[in-house]
Amino acid sequence: MRLSGATIKVPDVRRAHTIKHYLLSATARVPQSGTSILSDVTLEARPGDRIGVIGRNGAGKSTLIKMVAGIYPLTSGLREVNGHITTMLDRGIGLESEASLRRNVKIGLAYQNMLHAYSVELEKEILEFAELTDRANDPFKVLSSGMKARFAFAISLFQAPQILLLDEAFATGDAAFIHKAVTAMRRQVSEAPISFLISHDNNLILDICNRALLLQDGHLIADGTPDAIIDRYNHSCRG
């Protein structure tokens, strides 16, 4: 996986979202404005890299991950990716409130573009991991929010990606499940050839990752060992 001078500039939506604004800017020859949310990021990830992404809120961590995933296209620069990417960023995207958990396993896999991986055995494994086997035929909407989070997490977990993009905030639920989820996440990260983990938990980064990136205001300002990067991040937070 390689990014070279990767930049994302988003259009000023308030100006461009109606035909009126579009026509006015076209006739007045106003240059298309935009805001840079990620600037000139260059990095290379090789098999064996477990990369922690650190930075304050709004630094561009999620944007970087979504750019690697191909969700956010580049305005300029280069993105080269070889291998299947799995994202564990948001809980329960596309899950249907009226449909049963069984049906939602299929829906969840479909939204991860993994429908072809569906099997009855996989469905069983997912429900078992989420500790919801006995509620397999219940509609999703009757679950508590903790159960919903467990279920959504379990669906995303049962994939074998070459590049894993993971947001730590993804693992939620009760204390016992968080422990189980974090253990599963560690296993996933160690099994995937390349992993990116967004986290505000320095210990988790130190424990899991062998490399870290520090982002600030959409710029990649440091790339190195987790302890060096965390030191620098702590300094910048205090300063």
Partner 1 sequence: MNSLTESGCSIFFLKRVQQMTLIIFLAQEQIYRRYCGSLLGMAWSLVHPLCYILILTLVFTTIIPVHIDRFAIYLSAGLMPWSFLSNALVAGTRSLTDRRGVLESSPLCGLTFILADTTAEFLSFLPGYGLLIGIVILVRPELFFMMLILPVAFLPFVLFVYSISIVTAYLSARFNDIPHLLQIFMTIMFWMVPIVYHPQSIPQYLAPFLQMNPISVLISPSQVMLHGGMTPTFKNLTLSYLVAGGALVFAFVVHRVMNRRIIYYL
Q: Compare residues 110 and 160 and give the one whose CB is closer to partner 1.
A: 110
Q: Compare residues 89 and 206 and give the one whose CB is closer to partner 1.
A: 89
* Chain position carrying tokens 């308030």: 14
Residues that bind partner 1 (CB under 8 A): 10-11, 13, 16-20, 22, 66, 69-73, 85, 87, 89-90, 93-94, 96, 98-99, 106-107, 110-113, 115-116
If you ran DSSP here, which 8-state letter would residue 230 be given? H
CB neighbourhood size of 51 (10 A): 24
**Least distance (Å) from partner 1 to the CB of residue 228?**
31
Contact 188, 180 (CB under 8 A): no
Q: Which residues, 6 or more positions from 145, have their beta carbon under 8 angstroms from its beta carbon?
A: none
Q: Compare residues 52 and 108 and give the one whose CB is closer to partner 1.
A: 108
**Least distance (Å) from partner 1 to the CB of residue 10?**
5
Q: Compare residues 67 and 222 and give the one whose CB is closer to partner 1.
A: 67
Q: Compare residues 32 and 144 and give the one whose CB is closer to partner 1.
A: 32
Can you read off the two tokens belonging to residue 25? Answer: 């800017």
**Strand boundaries in 12-140, DSSP class E:** 34-44, 50-55, 76-80, 85-88
CB neighbourhood size of 10 (10 A): 13
**Least distance (Å) from partner 1 to the CB of residue 194?**
16
Contact 101, 152 (CB under 8 A): no
**Least distance (Å) from partner 1 to the CB of residue 97?**
9
**Least distance (Å) from partner 1 to the CB of residue 210?**
26
